[in-house]
């Protein structure tokens, strides 16, 4: 079992649209404030997307990231993790740019192409403020999130000289085998962070057996070369995280993955979710890692080696 549990907070992402919650960070200042708040609440790592402040649409414009990354870095010691996932509507070249140019300590990387179904949210959220939101959800029943072997290699090779480590996102069992393939090719080097994703339509489910199957498979493939973390989408967030922790894993929460603070109640901040999972960890007798302890665990290059 890990000596301390790393908490990652995914502050804002491409799954939810602004009309779904008034608490979802959209502007650069809101994203910066949310990330700093999550860090103060106990997150060792913050996972960051950017949004166009005019309408909240996901963007991978590096200049938009530059509007909030220095504010976060100057305010706290949290490890900054930049997405290369962006949104399923973007090209891999577009998705790569923030991590390539800004050279963070950590970047996320999806391990396979998949159906990425968000259309069921239309049954829960009916009124939208911006024109892009409804079609974005509706069209996801015919959308593939493209992450081919060539795409994955392109991202890994492009960032190879940046000393950026990757949060390896695995939405299904086959993605673990894809990660192992890139370990064998020497493009992913230990120690690495496997982030198993549960409960998103198109990926593995959130059942306890699914969580155990992911962990058993990762242990067999990677042995002591990796750290395991989980995220549960939507209402699955807290109980999947708690199961991971008691199995020796790490956890990810945040408004990218779930808008909820409890049944039928919107979380009012990322910090609220971080505080909740930290309290659960402490009730289980577990300690949470500081940012610098996370840096030591993952052998990161340090915040003074980034390009922002």
Mean pLDDT over 215-231 rounds to 98
pLDDT at 2 over 70: no
Q: What pTM was estimated for this model as a whole?
A: 0.96
Q: What is the pLDDT of residue 3?
A: 76
Mean pLDDT over 34-43 rounds to 98
Buried b (16+ CB within 10 A) or exposed e, 1-15: ebebbbbbbbbbbbb
For residue range 87-129, what is the model confidence (pLDDT) as tens digits?
A: 999 999 999 999 999 999 999 999 999 999 999 999 999 899 9
Q: What is the pLDDT of residue 17?
A: 97
CATH of the domain spanning 7-305, picked from 3.20.20.70, 1.10.10.410, 3.40.1350.10, 3.90.1640.10: 3.20.20.70
Is residue 270 within 8 A of residue 37, CB to CB? The reply is yes
Is residue 54 within 8 A of residue 17, CB to CB? The reply is no
Is residue 218 within 8 A of residue 176, CB to CB? The reply is yes
Q: What is the pLDDT of residue 126?
A: 86
Q: What is the pLDDT of residue 76?
A: 98
Q: What is the pLDDT of residue 1?
A: 44
What sign does the CA torsion over 249, 232, 218, 158 have? Answer: negative
Query: Which tokens belong to 5?
Result: 């549990």
Please state, rounded to an integer, the average pLDDT across all residues of the chain. 96
Name the residue ranges covered by the structural domains of the chain: 7-305
Return the percentage of the chain with pLDDT > 70, whole number.
99
For residue range 134-187, what is the model confidence (pLDDT) as tens digits?
A: 999 999 999 999 999 999 999 999 998 999 999 999 999 999 999 999 999 999
Mean pLDDT over 197-214 rounds to 97
Confidence of residue 22 (pLDDT cuts 50, 70, 90): very high
Mean pLDDT over 225-250 rounds to 96
Q: Which among 247, 188, 253 has a CA at the least distance from the CA of 214?
A: 247
Confidence of residue 209 (pLDDT cuts 50, 70, 90): very high
């Amino acid at each position: 079992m890990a000596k301390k549990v790393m908490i990652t907070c995914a502050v804002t992402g491409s799954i939810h649209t602004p009309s779904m919650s008034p608490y979802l960070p959209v502007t650069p200042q809101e994203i910066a404030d949310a990330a700093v708040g999550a860090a103060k609440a106990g997150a060792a790592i913050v996972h960051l997307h950017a949004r166009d402040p005019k309408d909240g649409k996901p963007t991978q414009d590096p200049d938009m990231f530059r509007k909030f990354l220095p504010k976060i870095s100057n305010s706290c010691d949290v490890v900054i993790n930049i997405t290369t996932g962006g949104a399923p509507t973007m090209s891999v070249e577009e998705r790569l740019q923030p991590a390539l140019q800004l050279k963070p300590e950590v970047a996320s990387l999806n391990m396979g192409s998949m159906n990425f179904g968000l259309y069921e949210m239309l049954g829960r959220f009916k009124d939208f403020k911006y024109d892009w939101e409804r079609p974005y959800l509706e069209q996801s029943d015919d959308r593939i999130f493209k992450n081919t072997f060539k795409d994955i290699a392109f991202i890994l090779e492009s960032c190879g000289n940046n000393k950026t480590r990757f949060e390896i996102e695995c939405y299904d069992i086959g993605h673990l085998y894809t990660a192992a393939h890139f370990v064998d090719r020497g493009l992913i080097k230990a120690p690495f962070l496997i982030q198993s994703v549960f409960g998103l339509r198109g990926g593995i489910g959130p059942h306890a057996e699914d969580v155990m199957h992911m962990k058993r498979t990762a242990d067999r493939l990677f042995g002591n070369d990796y750290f395991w973390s989980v995220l549960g989408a939507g209402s699955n967030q807290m109980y999947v995280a708690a199961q991971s922790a008691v199995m020796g894993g790490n956890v990810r929460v945040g408004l990218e993955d779930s808008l909820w603070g409890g049944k039928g109640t919107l979380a009012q901040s990322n910090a609220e979710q971080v505080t909740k999972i930290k309290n659960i960890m402490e009730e289980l007798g577990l300690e949470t890692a500081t940012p610098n302890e996370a840096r030591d665990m993952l052998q990161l290059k340090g915040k003074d080696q980034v390009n922002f």
